[in-house]
Structure 1
Amino acid sequence: GQVGYIQLGSEQLLIQPVNASETSFSGKEHFIRRRRSTKPGHPSRPQGPEEHCKVVAEKKRQKKVKSTSDWRERRNAIRLTSEYTVETLVVADADMVQYHGAEAAQRFILTVMNMVYNMFQHQSLGIKVNIRVTKLVLLHSRPAKLSIGHHGERSLESFCQWQNEEYGGAKYLGNNQVPGARDDTPPVDAAVFVTRTDFCVHKDEPCDTVGIAYLGGVCSAKRKCVLAEDNGLNLAFTIAHELGHNMGMSHDDDHQPCAGRSHIMSGEWVKGRNPSDLSWSSCSRDDLENFLKSKVSTCLLLTDPRSQYSVRLPHKLPGMHYSADEQCQILFGTNATFCKNMEHLMCAGLWCLVEGDTSCKTKLDPPLDGTECGADKWCRAGECVSKTPIPEHVDGDWSVWSQWSMCSRTCGTGVRFRQRKCDNPPPGPGGKNCRGASVEHTVCENLPCPKGVPSFRDQQCQAHDRYTNKKKSLLTAVIVDDKPCELFCSPLGKDSPVLVTDRVLDGTPCGPYETDLCVHGKCQKIGCDGIIGSAAKEDRCGICSGDGKTCKVVKGDFNHTKGMALKDSSKRSINSDWKIELPGEFQIAGTTVRYVRRGLWEKISAKGPTKIPLHLMVLLFHDQNYGIHYEYTIPVNYTAENRSEPEKQQDSLYIWTHSGWEGCSVQCGGGERKTIVSCTRLINKTMTLVNDSDCQRVTRPEPQVRKCNTHPCQSRWVTGHWSPCSATCEKGVQHREVTCVYQLQNGTYVNTRDLYCLGSKPATVQSCEGRDCLSIWEASEWSKCSADCGRGIQKRTVTCTNSQGKCDAATRPRDEEECEDHTGCYEWKTGDWSK
């Protein structure tokens, strides 16, 4: 036997003899295994300004950082439904139809699409997605407007344009008829083009890419497209993988928790794996859920009533449609047959013999499920097992629920979950998947967390802190409003948060003062009854699911001040003594008071009830007046005792106020600014600035001081405007001035040496093309002479081809001239026949 390896591009095939094998006509049996490449194996993705405009290839050369998807879940996201239908157009290229033959190509594609349908029915996806073929087109010649070549991205763009022109005029939008639409146009949510042309993503040459698609392009008229290479039995995997991209799924390698595993959205096809043996990763499921919750997926909620007459897919196992010999012919051509002496290993990998060859060969792929591998046996998921009748249309059912997990938190409100599986029984071919969720969450309550303990989100930041060996953590949690269930942390003293992980721990509050909790990376509503997803709410009187009739609301507006302060009769307070508190929770008047501040906007709220009187005060600033709105509830039978009438005439009150801020002392490098302290008179709720001498009996407070413009003074590149193009017509050059400048603390800039500026120096020269190319006239051929006997006129068309439509009329060629033609002046005449 032989021991060694075969180098195929960037991959290695290890070969070694089977110890107990016998020598056959094709030689001694050997094992061939694929060594995992040490290099990344996928073509690079193009980086565009918008994530959803990307073209994703099934294989990539290098991994790039993926920006946040535009369809990430938002608070107002669309709710998921139990079932989605992808109405799919499938087009077979002329080269594929010619290779297989029209009838065989149709049978092959329908079998492949049945495999794709079953992959999207796999319970690991968590959502029922029906791939429905609404139109199958077999091209016998390539249309003039359809350009398919080695350059994959251009071919995909051409196909998308072509299918939109041919099949873009759908007659129905859901159940509503579209006025003026074509009757013969099938509904199309996604379009698949299958070709035998070997293509590459960004190069006009063959390579190992077998499929590309627009990321998140389903439902978009010119991006709902997939380009797949007919690579034999793995075509089903390629189409399912690319349709996954088209429905918003990224490669598993782009998600840290799912990288390095074998799933349908893995970056590389795993040789030796049967498509029916592969499942969807949890990351693919999350990507799909986020996409389906976005508005760009709404076409999947609408089903054209005509699609019930769509192309019917075969329900039998694919190997029941194709014998081992036929599968070899798909892989290696019409002269290939199955190697009979490899029957004992055929379910692990299909071995074929091509007429004229002396040895069998394989592509390491197992045969299709249902392929016979012996007497009353067939291949299932890569193994040869006994044939048992496959019950048709067996619907799946759930197992019993597991025990509840431990609470996600040891104090405060947390979350626990339980699971079940769709295996009692699992769904058979053509059967329905289990309906409902496979995971259920519920709220769990613990003892309140001790005072002084960091918030649950802060604890998660501290757990990721690289400086955990220090006594005080350097990271604090920051909540990003539109991404409440992702963990952002910020070093103390800095404003720029860093994404630590894309999913906080279950039970983390969505916001600092919200009852909603993050569960499995999504913000879930928690009803006042403690049930996740419950719509139960407290009424304005604080009663869960109440009718709001046991109390009344007192509300009003006070429009005189800016800063707010709160104090109870026991002297506990917020924002008193000229100090502005950080937002947080405070125990005042027997209840928890929450103070929120976002810029100049402030809010003080408490669930209540209060046990002692509360006094709302204000910090008097002379800036813009934003006003105060207040409201509170009291029982309907409440009567205030000893309520005093407001005095009709109030004496004038003189106080010192911080009426504004001075400018910063420096422009950069760290300075300070102080408040402006002014004497203010209050009378009848009116505030007026007066002379400082009027406040001589009141102690003047020291001005407050803040640091400002703490960023260091830096150098930066300053670019001038580009000069006009050196050529007024055709190619030329442009110049501009680029200077490195340094900012002084007083705000002025001075020139400095280039080495002090960060980053490469911007270009000072660039190529350009002048557009003032005059006198570009183009004339057509002369027409036929208007007379065929004598003088006439002949004409031609003269067009200005200048890009700006400017041509010199003086140089315009003639479009009409005289001509002379005598061909019509003569005719043959015959006399009588001679005797």
Structure 2
Amino acid sequence: MCSRTCGTGVQFRQRKCDNPPPGPGGQHCQKLSVEHKACERPPCPKGAPSFRDLQCLSYGRHASKQRGGMLTAIINDDKPCVLFCSPLGRDVPVLVSDRVMDGTPCGPYEADLCVNGRCQRIGCDSIISSSAKEDRCGVCNGDGRSCTIVRGDFNHTKGMGYIEAVVIPAGARRIKVVEDRPSHSFLALKDSSQRSINSDWKIELPGEFQLAGTTVRYVRRGLWEKMSAKGPTKGPLHLMVLLFHDQSYGIHYEYTLPLNTTQDRSSEEHREPEYLYIWTHSSWQDCTVQCGGGERRTVVSCMRIFNKTMERVNDSYCQPENRPLPQIRLCNSHHCQYRWVTGDWGSCSITCGKGLQQREVACVYHLQNGTLFHTRDLFCQGGKPPVVQGCEGRLCLSVWEASEWAQCSSDCGRGVHSRTEPCEDHSKCYEWKTGDWSKCSSSCGKGLQSRVVQCMHKVTGRHGNDCPVTLRPPTYRPCHHGTCNEKINVNTITSPRLAALTYKCLGDQWTVYCRVIREKNLCQDMRWYQRCCDTCRDFYAKKILHKS
């Protein structure tokens, strides 16, 4: 009879040495007279007290009122099979019994059981003190040839958010995932039923989790992490990495998968090599759009594993029902409100004759209030307008030009020759004209105002290029509307602990208008926070310090 009604317990059988009985002429029987074996009962209800706690509770019900009720069991590492209990409201171990009941686990994370007051190891054949062990394939007393080991490395240098590293297929055993070195990132794991560790921007405490029909142990020591599971898994496991900024990052993973072997071991030397085929995410496709928010999908490929190497093969080698769905990432989420703007042409490089003139050309982002902010050229589509063109210096027109002499005024005797000498001077016909200043780009704090500045003819109003460059009025000027109200809920990005402790800021990516991102409360969005972390992080830090 099993010593427990649920979980793993112990049962025993006893034999007598009576054939022939010991005595004159008889011999004592070899080995032990009592043999113990582990027994499995249905799993205990989730959240129910442990077997050791039940023993303390049972003792507490019979204890005197002076001693108090014993409610919580305490495990002594040096004496794991002695029953110690803690009184209610106190954290002091009290010796209750010299031995726990048979079948009590030696520790919270150990498979060994207490038998006759001693911690006994259980073999894979369920026999107490047996030396039988599972091989790497999970076969009791096996030779390790019925499975193959899959090893791989995942390295990443650019990207933020969740990045999928590999899909561990169903049936995997001895799963191990280890970071190459401590890093400001988090390992994440998710199964097909959406059970997960560290997903959806929620970071778990280290411990044990039930995923894909197996127990996954998650360990985090400082900035270093690892995950492990005995298996076998009943479904695929998606191994991901949560990155907070571009960085050099690497992990090593390995697991075993069973092989379908039907041939006799004796003909092993002559049989064909056995291959393992699995689906993997091999690369990323290009973004579907250039701006406005698009998608990138992973390329799912069939890989052949043999002799610790992997190569891509035709998809027909892999089972179609196990093919994972492509992973999807948002890309090119920047707005399409980008366009080229050109400034006025500068003065000609020479005062007379053919020369060159230049102008400013910039890619700008157009806000809804009409304000323009300079940004990088790669955001604007189409070819960049020319910044240099040919010109002709007009000062050549400010000299006297004489026409041909007319005929003599007299056919005979003394007469007069005449000609015209017109002079045209454009140097004082043009002047700078300015428009009204725009509204301030910010409703609080520092901002910018802009206006139109053009060179125009005094009489005709036509645009020209003959205004003195040194007298050009300014196009931009700073403005200020008081201190901004910096109330914000940092939990809308992620937890304050993550924002303060795990994000390493490398500076603003869009230095020109990051202050607008902050002033418009767009720092609450993680995508904007990552691009303007230097501008946004000061008031996030204040909020975190205030809460702590």
Bigger relative contact order (CA 8 A; separation at least 6): 2
Same fold (TM over 0.5): no
TM-score (norm 1): 0.27
TM-score (norm 2): 0.39
The structure that is strand-richer by fraction is 2
Who wins on radius of gyration, i.e. which is larger?
2
